[in-house]
Amino acid sequence: MTSPRADAGWQGGPRASRVVALNAAPVRADGACVLYWMVAHRRLGWNHALDRAVQHATRLSRPLVILEALRAGYPWASERHHAFALDGMSEHARALESGAVLYHPYVELEPGEGRGLFEAWAAVAAVVVTDLYPAFFIPRMQRVAAARVGIRVEAVDSNGLLPLTETSAPFSAAYPFRRFLQRNLGAHLVEMPHPDPLSAADLADAGDLGREIRERWPAASAELLAASDAVLAGLPIDHTVGRAPTRGGTAAARARLDAFVEDGLERYGQERNDPDSDASSRISPWLHWGHISVHEVFHRVAEHQGWSPARLATVADGGRHGWWGMSPSAESFLDELVTWRELGFVYCHHVPNHDRWDTLPAWARDTLERHAPDPRPWTYIPEELDAAATHDPVWNAAQTQLRSEGVVHNYLRMLWGKKILEWCEHPRAALEVMIELNNRYALDGRDPNSYTGIMWILGRFDRGWPERPVYGKVRSMSSEATRRKVRLDAYLSRWGSGHGP
Ligand SMILES: Cc1cc2nc3c(=O)[nH]c(=O)nc-3n(C[C@H](O)[C@H](O)[C@H](O)COP(=O)(O)OP(=O)(O)OC[C@H]3O[C@@H](n4cnc5c(N)ncnc54)[C@H](O)[C@@H]3O)c2cc1C
């Protein structure tokens, strides 16, 4: 499959349903530039928001400024997350070193130091484009910022294959959402963002634009962006969560994707649950940081499968297999990448407090509350869980991998959450612990998917199961059954006791 945009000659930006105005202010025709405030879709291709910014810049004959900032004071900011984000920013600085676009990478050296930077750029711009992202502090930050400036601020949705605003309400489970996708997704599969819009467009040169702004808030140096240990040690962030072995940035993401498509994709359907098989994509950290887009991942899979939209089935029965017209294994991958991932994005888009207990389905809250006083064979305080100091070697191994590498195998991530539910004094406490550990350590944490996974542990997007102690009607999992079901001997010898976190 080739990118329709690349083939047809690029015509412009995304469809209207991907563009959400964050204020009622107009485009200022005499503004000096178009500002792209890159906050979530941190990439230079396959990005509807960048396409939109380029479209404005072309129509208005104005240069394009890309502002990519990294705050210090956001929740869970640590060496691990900073190093990953800085890898991406460093790549962007190199790619945009020469050329018409002005790239302003800004890294806060003290919390709050960047205050006023966005407003300063907006004061000279004709229009602002930013990324629509339905979780973490981003929606609130953007709303506040948009209310403060006198020009149009647009948030553009490049989160998923389906534009979020094409849905009118959240879905309660994967099945009805899958059926919705099967009815509505086809048209969007031929509307991919441009793989490389900055090369395709003829943009005015930014020259020395915004010199005073850049003097007041200096662009991060190459040395700062290189994120050496010494640089990270000097930043006001959590130093107890160290750098993970995985590098951030689009190049690393593409290398991982290539390896997966060549070696893992056709094994995914059978082996994805086995921690000992390297059959899952491990692409979630880059998806979370926006270093790679789901559009590019889909495109790569489609290309590998020799797929074209004509292969889509006409039956929309909500079934997991047979709709895409790809191999069973590729379809199983797309069910996670598209159905499950976008189910959570749509939920977060419609339910701003998606991380709160009260948003769980009533049946799940009722049954968990009713079973909250049940005696628990084991209970642990958050510090013991954090330290991977439980009686359960499988759980300890998963927590140790999370602490050390910032990732956990998907199947074990489910077990990890279910045991936290079982071992905390109350399910509400389990929710707090899961959010804290996941978002603190996971490279892909603080994402709509984080809340899909964590809330799934507590019953969201799931159905009732036979009633049991502690879990009530919420699905339970056990380490013993996991040991029987999936291959994890090598995993346990790598992450099991002896590996100290
Ligand atoms: C308690 C718990 C917490 C979780 N926290 C996160 C999180 O913070 N960030 C995160 O990205 N995912 C989270 N997940 C979902 C899932 O575990 C990861 O997305 C997956 O393990 C990432 O590995 P992968 O890239 O190899 O996935 P693959 O199996 O290769 O799947 C490809 C992509 O599909 C999406 N995906 C896969 N499984 C799921 C799922 N169950 N729900 C939603 N999307 C999915 C992810 O974007 C993933 O990268 C969590 C799950 C649980 C049970």
Ligand 1 contacts CB of residue 417 (under 6 A): yes
Residue with tokens 């339905």: 134
d(CA 397, CA 395): 5
Instruction: Report the pLDDT value the prediction gives residue 500, as an integer from 0 to 100.
Output: 46
pLDDT tens for 348-370 read: 999 999 999 999 999 999 999 99
State the SS3 of 315-336. Answer: CCCCCCCCCCCCCHHHHHHHHH
Q: Which long-range contacts (CB under 8 A, 24 or more apart) does 254-258 make?
A: 254/292, 254/296, 256/281, 256/282, 256/283, 256/286, 257/281, 257/283, 257/292, 257/296, 257/297, 257/300, 258/300
**Nearest Cα residue to atom 30 of ligand 1:** 281
Q: Which residue type, as a one-letter code, is found at position 219?
A: A
**Nearest Cα residue to atom 34 of ligand 1:** 337
410 CA distance to ligand 1 middle (Å): 6
336 CA distance to ligand 1 middle (Å): 8
Instruction: Report the pLDDT value the prediction gives residue 6, as an integer from 0 to 100.
Output: 41
Are 263 and 126 in contact by the 8 Å Cβ rule? The answer is no
Instruction: Report the pLDDT value the prediction gives residue 1, as an integer from 0 to 100.
Output: 53
DSSP assignment of 276-330 equals TS--S---HHHHHHTSS-HHHHHHHHHHHTT--GGGS-S-----SSSSS-S-HHH
Comparing CA positions, the residue from 203, 33, 37 lying closest to residue 105 is 37
Comparing CA positions, the residue from 495, 258, 284, 300 lying closest to residue 410 is 284
Ligand 1 contacts CB of residue 438 (under 6 A): yes
User: Best substitution site from 293, 434, 444, 457 to test ligand 1's pocket, by max atoms within 8 Å of Cβ?
Assistant: 444
pLDDT (average), residues 229-256: 98
Are 86 and 252 in contact by the 8 Å Cβ rule? The answer is no
406 CA distance to ligand 1 middle (Å): 13
Confidence label for 498 from pLDDT (cuts 50, 70 and 90)? low
pLDDT tens for 430-449 read: 999 999 999 999 999 999 99
Q: Please give the number of the atom of ligand 1 that sits closest to the Cα of 445.
A: 8
**CA 447 to the chain's CA centroid:** 5
pLDDT tens for 47-99 read: 999 999 999 999 999 999 999 999 998 999 999 999 999 999 999 999 999 99
Ligand 1 contacts CB of residue 23 (under 6 A): no
For 314, list phi and psi in degrees, rounded to 5: -90, -20
In Å, how far are 61, 272, 442, 495 from 402, measured between CA atoms? 48, 18, 6, 10
**Nearest Cα residue to atom 40 of ligand 1:** 340
Q: How many residues does the chain have?
A: 501
Q: Give me 274's structure tokens.
A: 């086995």
pLDDT (average), residues 125-141: 97
What is the percentage of the chain residues whose pLDDT exceeds 90? 95
pLDDT (average), residues 117-125: 98
pLDDT tens for 181-220 read: 999 999 999 999 999 999 999 999 999 999 999 999 999 9
Comparing CA positions, the residue from 331, 126, 270, 145 lying closest to residue 209 is 126
Residue with tokens 């790619």: 95
pLDDT tens for 308-337 read: 999 999 989 999 999 999 999 999 999 999
State the SS3 of 49-117. Answer: HHHHHHHHHHHHCCCEEEEEEECCCCCCCEHHHHHHHHHHHHHHHHHCCCCCCEEEEEECCCCCCCCCH
Better pLDDT: 22 or 500: 22
**Nearest Cα residue to atom 33 of ligand 1:** 337
111 CA distance to ligand 1 middle (Å): 31
d(CA 96, CA 65): 11
State the SS3 of 133-154. Answer: CCCCCHHHHHHHHHHHCCCCEE
Confidence label for 12 from pLDDT (cuts 50, 70 and 90)? confident
User: Best substitution site from 177, 274, 431, 449 to test ligand 1's pocket, by max atoms within 8 Å of Cβ?
Assistant: 449
Ligand 1 contacts CB of residue 355 (under 6 A): no
- Asked if pLDDT for residue 9 goes beyond 90, the answer is no
d(CA 263, CA 133): 31
Instruction: Report the pLDDT value the prediction gives residue 8, as an integer from 0 to 100.
Output: 38
Confidence label for 501 from pLDDT (cuts 50, 70 and 90)? very low
Ligand 1 contacts CB of residue 460 (under 6 A): no
284 CA distance to ligand 1 middle (Å): 6
Ligand 1 contacts CB of residue 280 (under 6 A): yes
Instruction: Report the pLDDT value the prediction gives residue 397, as an integer from 0 to 100.
Output: 97
pLDDT tens for 389-437 read: 999 999 999 999 999 999 999 999 999 999 999 999 999 999 999 999 9
435 CA distance to ligand 1 middle (Å): 14
Average pLDDT, the chain: 95
Ligand 1 contacts CB of residue 272 (under 6 A): yes
The domains found in the chain, sorted by start residue, are 250-350 (1.25.40.80), 357-495 (1.10.579.10)
Q: Please give the number of the atom of ligand 1 that sits closest to the Cα of 446.
A: 8
User: Best substitution site from 336, 342, 395, 458 to test ligand 1's pocket, by max atoms within 8 Å of Cβ?
Assistant: 336
Ligand 1 contacts CB of residue 267 (under 6 A): no
Are 130 and 42 in contact by the 8 Å Cβ rule? The answer is no
Instruction: Report the pLDDT value the prediction gives residue 4, as an integer from 0 to 100.
Output: 44
Better pLDDT: 69 or 5: 69
Instruction: Report the pLDDT value the prediction gives residue 383, as an integer from 0 to 100.
Output: 98
